[in-house]
Structure formats: structure tokens, C-alpha cells
Amino acid sequence: MSLDLEDPDVGSPAVADEPSVTDDEDRKGYELLDGTWVEKEGDGMSALVEANLSRLVGNHVHAHRLGWVLASNARFQLFPVQSNRIRKPDLSFVAAGRFPTGLPAGGPYRFAPDLAAEVHSPTDLVDYTEAKRDEYLRAGVRLVWEAHIPTRNVWAYKPDGTARLYRATDTLPGEDVLPGFAVPVADLFEGLDPVAPVPQPPGANAPGSPGGTTSP
């Protein structure tokens, strides 16, 4: 069953429809926000994590014929009533059968992907990332991943309001969006320098202090 996202508050995925923005209106590395092109944040570290995500998710999706994995140039008009607003996830997954022709065209796509993943570097603005996440979830993205380079953690969000933190020692599951997918979180950040240890306050490890050693 397909749903029409005429109401931006509808929280279920819709089947792709005809695009309302032409290819010549696109700008690489930018998103269209209320008619204004805004440059996406990113650096070499985020590009590396995006590449790891694409490889890990793409291999699983291809092996199991689950659908399509799209790179950061894929354009999504999440709400049909907002043709002046185009989002570009760092990585997205669209389940098989959701494209009218069976194959992804040039876009933009007037529907929400099943999975949207974003890679956050230290320079990303909190308000910007939260607004983007909120749009994804309201539009019906079934699973949102946010990979945080400074901490090497991944947060997973769902439209029902639940969120879960996965640390570097955890395994990130694809849940019902990517059945059978499970990879160590550390694999997403492969190739980056190790995270520096968190500085401890003076005396934190002194004998008798909380977390410190105690002499016999």
C-alpha cells in the first residue's frame, strides 16, 4: 500500500512519485532549504566514514537484493508540498519496489528513503543536524543513523521517538529496515586515527578516590 505525503506530519514511507525539481537546479554539495542553497558540512574524515558506510551497507543490500543504496548526491524532496526543500543524506537506502520503474532515476525523489545516514564532524552545527533529523522522521524515514566522528559512536533514531546509542565496541543492526545486517560500529570508522583518551581530573586515579586504586 502506498501513502501520499500531502501532510508533512504523516510518518509512513510513500512510494516514489514524479520529481518536481529538475536536474539543472541541483548544486553538488549543497541542500536546498526554503529556496536557498546551503552547503553541507564535511571533510576528509567524514568522506572516509561515508565510504565505509557505503561499502558495508552496499555489500549487504546487493548480496540480499534488498533494494538500492544511494550516495550523498541523491536528492529527496521529503514533502510534496515543499518543492523548495531538498535534502541529501550522506547515505540512503531505498527498499526494492519503491521506484516506479524499478530503478532509481536522476531525482529528486518525492518520498522518504527507508534509511538515512548522516556523518557528523566536529564542525557540524547542532541546530542544523537536529532539524534535518526531525524532517527525516516526520517524513517517514524508518531508520536514521547518525555517526559521530569525535566519539566514534552511532545514534539510531526511529519515527516512534525511540533512540539508541551504539558505541565503538557494539554491533550496529539493520533491524527490520536492513534484515540480517550487523556490523561492528568500529568498522564504520576504520581508517581514522584512534580517539584520544578523555582527560581525567587531577587525583581521579589516586588511591581511595572513585575509580582509583586502593592500597592493601
Round the average pLDDT of the chain to a whole number and report it: 80
Through-space distance between the first and last CA atoms of the chain, rounded to whole angstroms = 68
CA dihedral 26, 177, 63, 90 (to 10 degrees): 30
H helix runs in the chain, sequence order: 44-64, 126-139, 185-188
The residues with which 154 forms a beta bridge, in sequence order, are 147, 166
Percent of all residues in the chain with a pLDDT value above 90, rounded to a whole number: 50
Average pLDDT over residues 116-124: 86
Domains of the chain with CATH codes? 31-188 (3.90.1570.10)
Q: pLDDT value at position 85?
A: 85
pTM summary value: 0.76
| Euclidean distance between CA atoms 73 and 209, whole angstroms | 52
CB 102 within 8 A of CB 130: no
| pLDDT at residue 6 greater than cutoff 50 | no
Q: pLDDT value at position 172?
A: 98
Report pLDDT digits (tens) over 35-81: 878 777 767 788 999 999 999 999 999 999 999 999 988 999 998 88
